[in-house]
Amino acid sequence: MKRIWIKDGTFVTMDDARPVLKGHMVIEGDTILYLDEALPEPAPEGAEVIDGNGFVYMPGLINTHGHAAMSLLRGYSDDEALQVWLEQKMWPMEGKYTDEDARWGTALAVSEMLRSGTTTFVDMYDRMHIVAEVVEQSGMRGLLTRGVIGLCPPDVQTAKLNEAKQFARDWNGRANGRIRTMLSPHAPYTCPPDYIARIVEAAQELNVPLHTHMSESAAEVQQNIDDYGCRPVEHLDKLGFFSGPALVAHAVHLTDDEIALLAERGVGVSHNPASNLKLASGIARLPDLLKAGVTVSLGTDSAASNNNLDLFDEIRLAALIHKGVSGDPTAVPAWEALKLGTVYGARAIWQEERIGMLKEGMKADFIAIDAEQPHFYPRTEIVSHLVYSGSGRDVKHVWVDGVQVVKNGACVFLDDAQIRAEAQRCFERLLSS
């Protein structure tokens, strides 16, 4: 089995027991075998030895909400409100997507995410077998789900659900377990209640989690009240959505009672600060969610509403905006913000036993940050530097499952230059068709 020995590095483990240590990490196969200040004794035989001097190693980041293929639409429609952006700009363009648009849009996103330090991502889209193929090839880890919009005749609803179930069955556990699957009604405002109930039942049958957009805008909450007589949290709860593992994206507009219910039901919330700001949806009640014991993680949403997929940006925003909103500088401290992008991300997607931390026995998903740059000096607090001063551009190398997937800033298993050229070609065709 292949061994890697990172010698003399600084490790931000994300483990409260020993958050930062200077020392050595040994990887065997896909697992962290050893992590300590002392030299490994005996020295790991036949290991690839990597000089860790000048690098900060930390767990790969976990992006818990996005739509990778929409990277083709980055910059296509800015400065619009959510419903206008979605209905008048995104959906007409997405209606013209072909398989190759899905492939190159996804590849563009995966390349960007890996190169900026994200090793696991949640993706909700259609043509998901293509997304899964790109994930498999890239070496990345993904929790993938065919999102369904139910504003269509019953036979089309059924066909979409069958496709989603087939995908969830076919790909769960593939790529050495790097790929897992879920089921996803797109949102309560795009799926009638009986359709959501069928999706919930299907998730129970297949034993997979559920994911959806929820309470992203005030208008959506009001529409839910007008249509169904209650707010989205109660609506989804009545439909059984929270009776098994569930992850909701956004959750910007919540009452105290809704926060308490999400905590009680163990629902994960993917906080997407950049997308929520850009679409003027609002600012989620992150400190209140955390205080209530809700598992909160971070998502970028798509590059069409962000406009990048650098999770370091979300980490910094999460640390900053809630200080501004609350007037409390301790609202989201740096360490908590970094946890949102790592350990809490792993917890939100039910994988905290294997990813999100550098710890012996856990999967070797980790990133190397080039800390020999002006913005990492002086060496005061490395966690502070990562959150308030770092970015995805500082990521030099990335490993997933013990395999190096980014080397010197370039993807190992994807052709970054080809991806950029194909993405440009696809976008131009979409624009002119």
Ligand X SMILES: CSC[C@H]1O[C@@H](n2cnc3c(O)ncnc32)[C@H](O)[C@@H]1O
Binding site for ligand X (CB under 6 A): 67, 86, 90, 94, 124-126, 147, 149, 186-187, 213, 216, 275, 301-302, 305
DSSP code of 86? I
24 known ligand binder: no
216 known ligand binder: yes
99 known ligand binder: no
11 closest CA partner among 396, 382, 401, 402: 382
186 closest CA partner among 210, 167, 170, 162: 210
Residue among 183 and 398 whose Cβ is closer to ligand X: 183
Quote the least distance from Cβ 357 to ligand X, whole Å.
29
Decide if residue 94 touches Zn ion (CB under 5 A).
Answer: no
Q: Which does 149 bind (CB under 5 to 8 A by kind): ligand X, Zn ion, none?
A: ligand X
146 known ligand binder: yes
DSSP code of 326? H
The sign of the torsion formed by the CA atoms of 108, 109, 111, 112 equals positive
- Strand 410-411 with 20-28, pairing: unpaired
Q: Strand (E) positions, 60-202? A: 61-63, 118-125, 141-148, 179-185
Decide if residue 301 touches Zn ion (CB under 5 A).
Answer: yes
Q: Strand (E) positions, 207-315? A: 210-214, 246-250, 268-271, 295-298
Q: Which does 212 bind (CB under 5 to 8 A by kind): ligand X, Zn ion, none?
A: none
Residue 249 and residue 299 in contact, taking contact as beta carbons nearer than 8 Å: yes
Residue 259 and residue 292 in contact, taking contact as beta carbons nearer than 8 Å: yes
Q: Which stretch binds Zn ion (CB under 5 A): 70-78, 136-144, 199-207, 297-305?
A: 297-305
Q: Which does 94 bind (CB under 5 to 8 A by kind): Zn ion, ligand X, none?
A: ligand X
Torsion of Cα atoms, 289 then 292 then 296 then 300, to 10°: 0
Quote the least distance from Cβ 431 to ligand X, whole Å.
17
Beta carbons within 8 Å of 194's beta carbon, 6+ residues apart: none
65 known ligand binder: yes
Residue among 295 and 305 whose Cβ is closer to Zn ion: 305
Q: Which does 305 bind (CB under 5 to 8 A by kind): ligand X, Zn ion, none?
A: ligand X
Quote the least distance from Cβ 127 to ligand X, whole Å.
10
Residue among 74 and 213 whose Cβ is closer to ligand X: 213
User: Residues marked as binding for Zn(2+)?
Assistant: 65, 67, 213, 301
Binding residues (CB under 5 A) for Zn ion: these are 301
User: Residues marked as binding for substrate?
Assistant: 94, 146, 186, 216, 301
User: Residues marked as binding?
Assistant: 65, 67, 94, 146, 186, 213, 216, 301
